[in-house]
Amino acid sequence: MSNIDAHFHQLFQPKTPANKLDEKTALLTNRRTPTDEQIRDWLQSPEIKQWLNKQMMGITNTLKIEMVNTIIKNILDKPDKDCRVQYSGAVIGIDVLRWQLWASYKLPYASGLKAPDCPYTLKKHLEQRD
d(CA 100, CA 92) in angstroms, rounded, equals 11
Per residue in 75-92, pLDDT tens? 999 998 999 999 988 999
Per residue in 88-111, pLDDT tens? 889 999 999 999 999 999 877 777
For position 93, what pLDDT does the model report?
97
For position 16, what pLDDT does the model report?
52
Query: For the whole model, what pTM was predicted?
Result: 0.73
φ, ψ (nearest 5 deg) of residue 113: -105, 155
Per residue in 39-73, pLDDT tens? 999 999 999 999 999 998 989 999 999 999 999 99
Inter-residue contact 94 to 33 (CB < 8 Å): no
